[in-house]
Structures are given as C-alpha cells and as structure tokens.
Amino acid sequence: MKDRDKTKEQLISELVEIRETKDFLDNIIDSSLDSIIITDAKGCITRTNRSFLQMLDCEEEAISGKYMGELSPQKEGIYESATGEFVEINKEFLEYRKTCMSRLVEEGKIFNMKDNYICKDNKVVPIENSIVYLYNKSGERIGTVGIIRDITEMKKAKKENRETSAVLEIVFNTSTDGIMVADRIGCIVRVNRAIEQMLGFREDELIGKYTIELGPEDEMHQIVRERMIGDLLEEGHVENWETVWYRKDGSLCPVEINITFLKDPEGNVSGAVAVIRDASGRNKMEHKG
C-alpha cells in the first residue's frame, strides 16, 4: 500500500537516488588503488575493478564467471613470479590456502591471506587477500568481496635487501680492518673476524661487553676516553683516535679507531660502528726510526 501511495515523482526521485548511489559506489570501486573482486554466493566472479585487471593484465570478460579459486595455481610445481624469482607451490602451501578458506567459511572473513594469482603471461603475482562475506537484509549470504594487494614490489624490495645484506656480510667479515658495532649505551653487539684475530677473543666472548672494558682503567686512559666521548657526542664521529686495548692473553694492542654514530629513520642515535686498525706494526716502525 505504501508504494501505491507514492506519487510518480517520488518513485522517479527514489530511482534517481538509487542510480546515483550505485554510480558513486562504482566510481569508488574503480578508483581504488587496491584490487577489488566481487563474487556471488557460489564463489563465481561477478565484478572486478581496473586495478585488478591491470594487475593480471587481462580483460574482465576473461575472468567473469570463473571461481575465485581458479585464479591461483592449483597444482604443486615451480612457477615463475613477477618478482623475477621462481615460486614453489608445494603441499604445505596448498594446505595453508585450504585452511584459510575453511576459516572464511567458519568466520565469514579472512585477512592478509598470502597467495599467488596467475596473470596473462602465466607468471604468478604475489598477493595479500582479505575476503569478507556479503549478506542481504535477511542475513543470507549473497557473495564475497575481496580486497587484493599486489605485493610484487614489496617482494622485490625484500629480495634486494637480502642480496644487499649478503654482500655487506661478506664485506664485514673479509675486511682487513676490525669492525665493531655497539648499541646506544656502548654494549658490543657485533664484531668481525679481523677483531677476533686482532684481540684473540671470539665474537661470543666480546658480545655483551662494554667497549670501555677493553682498555686500561688508569687515570690517563680515562681522561683520554672522556675527551673522545665528548668529541663523539658533539660531532657524531671521531677519527684517528689512538688508544690501547687488551688482548685475550693480557698483552696490550695499540689501536687506531674511527667511530661513527648510527641513527634510526627519525634521526635518533641507535648505536655506533667503529673501524679499528691494529697499530702495532706502525708503532714498531716509529720506534725503530
């Protein structure tokens, strides 16, 4: 009766409002930087956005009507990734995906599920997928919406970081100069092989010690050390600081040290790195001269 009581103008106004709301929502979906995929109650794809189609380099007609699960590799094997690496889809990964989908059925949502989608050239794109069920006013499930994030660049960055870290580790341990890393209160957290050879201590024997424990505690060395710490705090670095450290056998090793503060992204001091050179040979030459 209520609908019959409405005037023609009212009905037209409501239809226009519905249309404008639909156009507005369509615009939001298509403008999203994240990929969006919508399915019906059976899991068949009914809608995607531009970002999703660009990610897989395909047309909407090519995937419309497919099940969402068909977008991922279903068999064990090695697949070429868009990151330039090769991805292994093994039994454990298939079980992980199955567990995630079971949780979706039980809870009606899953967040940040790791997966790979197959794109047009048969390479796989690494993604994170968050899926929630859609319900009508009666509480019946009518479909799902998935927000998919392409994590290719993040994977590439991690790969580059691993490669860079590997190179830095080689440099760290093959340097002929000693390298020592301390935290912000001067506690040793890393040393390289050159330090071990120079002082006779293993790395695990030095980690946890304070750098001031390595040298003599007499008044003269304390004064020199305090002056060095003052320069370090003022300038953020110290160059060619000369002192002596104890070797494991109790003998003294003259060293020349360059120290620089390490800072976090906010500019706060997080520690220090020191490059240490054994000055024993130079001192002998100066003595002989």
Residue 27 is which amino acid? N
**Predicted pLDDT of residue 289:** 44
Name the residue among 63, 129, 141, 134 with its Cα closest to residue 97.
129
Instruction: Identify whether residues 127 and 229 lie together within a single domain.
Output: no
Q: What are the tens digits of pLDDT across the range 240-252? A: 989 999 999 999 9
pLDDT in tens, 16-45: 555 655 565 666 666 677 888 889 988 899
On whether both 149 and 178 belong to a single domain, the answer is no
pLDDT category of residue 15 using cuts at 50, 70 and 90: low
Residue 115 clears pLDDT 50, i.e. is over it = yes
Q: Is residue 123 part of a domain?
A: yes
pTM of the complete model: 0.55
Mean pLDDT of the chain: 84
**Three-state DSSP state, 247:** coil
* pLDDT given for residue 281 in this prediction: 66
- Residue 149 domain boundaries: 32-153
CATH code, domain carrying 227:
3.30.450.20
Distance in angstroms (rounded) separating the CA atoms of residues 129 and 140: 23
Q: Is residue 9 part of a domain?
A: no
Residues 80 and 192 in one domain: no
Domain count within the chain: 2
CB 181 within 8 A of CB 190: yes
Q: In what order do the strands lie in the sheet with 178-183?
A: 188-191, 178-183, 269-278, 252-263, 237-246
What's the rounded mean pLDDT across residues 35-59? 89
Q: Which residues contact 175 (CB under 8 A, 6 or more apart)?
A: 192, 194
- List own/partner pairs for 226-234 with CB under 8 A and 24 or more apart: 228/259, 232/259, 232/261, 232/272
Q: Where residue 96 falls among pLDDT bands split at 50, 70, 90?
A: very high
Give 64-84 pLDDT, tens digit per residue.
Answer: 888 888 899 989 999 988 888
Least confident stretch, 92-96, 191-195, 205-209, 218-222: 218-222
pLDDT digits (tens, 9 = 90+) for 164-209: 788 878 888 888 899 999 998 889 999 999 999 999 999 999 999 9
Residues 123 and 178 in one domain: no
Q: What pLDDT is attached to residue 9?
A: 61
